[in-house]
Amino acid sequence: MEYSGQDDVQEYVDAFQRGEEKGFTYFFNALYPALLYYAFRIVNDKPTSEDVVEESFIKIWERHSTFTHPKVIKAWLYTTVRNGCLNRLQQQQRSATQVEQIARMKEGEHESYALHEMIRAEVIRELHANIESLPTACRQIFKMLYIQGKTVREIANELELSISTIKNQKARGLGLLRKRMPELSVLLMLQVLRELS
């Protein structure tokens, strides 16, 4: 999670611990996209992923008074989502691939797999947050291109803008994201964006 300041975060942690809605809302908004992606990478089913993540938030909210640190909240949610996904896979037994995946996870590979997927989920969360912080027009065009999968021409027609304006906003968005996330290559960033859709 990106925090504006440690005091601000502690205020939300305290609100969460007291059972105040603003504490819950803060952590839900900050972590839901990454947890949803993480769950989807395990169960490969969006409705199931949504159910597992939402159930995990319900479970943590039932125990809200015991959490005193943001990292503990985050770690607890990732663990709960992973366990919820594994339980769903066991219940559904939908395919031999998933059964094999469960077996691999239970044999000890699950820790490295879970860590890998958690890191991917956090990159997605950070990228999503950075896209949301783009200037309004740039953000709108960027999402239409990379998340909705529309062409430059379709966007130009829909927004009644020139093709060069769309291309300029696209380049601007990529440039801003490169500056904000220099550790990601452009190709990796585009691949991750495709996974968001």
What tens digit of pLDDT does each residue of 52-92 get? Answer: 999 999 999 999 988 889 989 998 999 999 999 888 887 77
pLDDT of residue 4: 45
pLDDT of residue 2: 46
Rounded Cα distance, 160 and 43, in Å: 40
